[in-house]
């Protein structure tokens, strides 16, 4: 059963603990939104995001786990562990560059460690783009289709733009986390126009990665009403999408 966000905080939590928890919420919201937007905005059937995680690769190498997804029918890709260099996503992680295949199953230039999961999802074409900032990889986003399709410049550019926007948001959240709590509090800028109670409620749920239908069900609203509140909040905060909304809300103290 889903419960509403609460403002109560454990007395044992330090400001640094709260900063870590807040940064994690922002990160999940950003990456969850990225997976959904790959399917909604770029025409992909499945969107995935792999998150770097220690211990995935052998001998101390890099690796990631697929933590966010949209459009999947089975669960074999969920929480899949991908060491650098394996599969298409592992190649993007290792080479720090986008990689794609019009037919993943027939491609002879990649390893085929994950064919069972790919076949279970009926996927063929696949594009992977690393989320890079200052040489570090924040994750890898996948755009996959259930057809053999050459990836044109338009679709590659669209996914790359989403990846770049998500990377900027993640870098901003990481910088905020590294800022001492007192300094961060004084550096916050309040929104130009105060949010209404409903806008604030919807914003808090959206920042946790909930979809509009999930927010509507939780608050007893229609999806159109939730969309309206989110658009109004975006306008008041001067942002263009849910990713920027989550980061700006956190930096402005609206999620405290």
Determine, yes or no, domain membership for 214.
Answer: yes
- Shared domain check, 116 and 211: no
Read off the pLDDT of residues 27-50 as tens digits, 9 standing for 90 and up: 889 999 999 999 999 999 999 999
Average pLDDT, the chain: 82
Count of structural domains, the chain: 2
* CA dihedral over 49, 52, 54, 57, signed as positive or negative: positive
CB of 206 within 8 A of CB of 36?
Answer: no
- Shared domain check, 126 and 161: yes
CATH number at residue 66: 3.30.450.40
- Shared domain check, 216 and 166: no
Determine, yes or no, domain membership for 10.
Answer: no
What predicted TM-score, i.e. pTM, was given to this entire model? 0.65
Tell me the C-alpha to C-alpha distance, in Å, between residue 216 and each of 2, 137, 202, 210, 239. Answer: 13, 34, 9, 10, 22
CATH number at residue 241: 1.10.10.10
Gap between the Cα atoms of 216 and 218, Å rounded: 5
Specify the residue for token string 């905020």.
176
- Structural domain including 65 reads 15-178
With a CB cutoff of 8 Å and minimum separation 6, the contacts of 62 are: 52, 56, 83, 84, 93, 94, 137
- Output the pLDDT for position 22: 73
Determine, yes or no, domain membership for 42.
Answer: yes
Determine, yes or no, domain membership for 8.
Answer: no
Determine, yes or no, domain membership for 223.
Answer: yes
């Amino acid at each position: 059963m889903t419960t509403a966000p609460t403002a109560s905080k454990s007395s044992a939590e330090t400001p640094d603990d709260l900063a870590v928890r807040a940064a994690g919420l922002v990160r999940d919201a950003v990456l969850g939104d990225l997976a959904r937007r790959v399917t909604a905005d770029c025409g992909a059937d499945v969107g995935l995001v792999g998150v770097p995680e220690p211990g995935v690769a052998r001998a101390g190498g890099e690796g990631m786990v697929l933590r966010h997804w949209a459009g999947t029918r089975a669960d074999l890709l969920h929480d899949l562990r991908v060491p650098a260099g394996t599969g298409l996503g592992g190649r993007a992680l290792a080479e720090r560059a986008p990689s794609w295949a019009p037919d993943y199953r027939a491609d002879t230039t990649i390893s085929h460690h994950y064919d069972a999961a790919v076949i279970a999802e009926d996927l063929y074409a696949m594009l992977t783009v690393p989320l890079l900032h200052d040489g570090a990889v924040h994750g890898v986003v996948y755009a996959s289709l259930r057809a053999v399709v050459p990836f044109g410049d338009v679709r590659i550019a669209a996914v790359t733009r989403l990846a770049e926007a998500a990377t900027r948001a993640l870098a901003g959240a990481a910088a905020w986390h590294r800022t001492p709590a007192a300094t961060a509090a004084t550096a916050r800028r309040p929104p130009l126009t105060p949010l209404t109670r409903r806008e604030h409620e919807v914003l808090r749920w959206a920042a946790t990665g909930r979809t509009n239908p999930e927010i509507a069900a939780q608050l007893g609203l229609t999806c159109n009403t939730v969309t309206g509140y989110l658009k109004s909040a975006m306008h008041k905060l001067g942002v263009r999408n849910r990713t920027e909304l989550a980061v700006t809300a956190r930096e402005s103290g609206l999620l405290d």
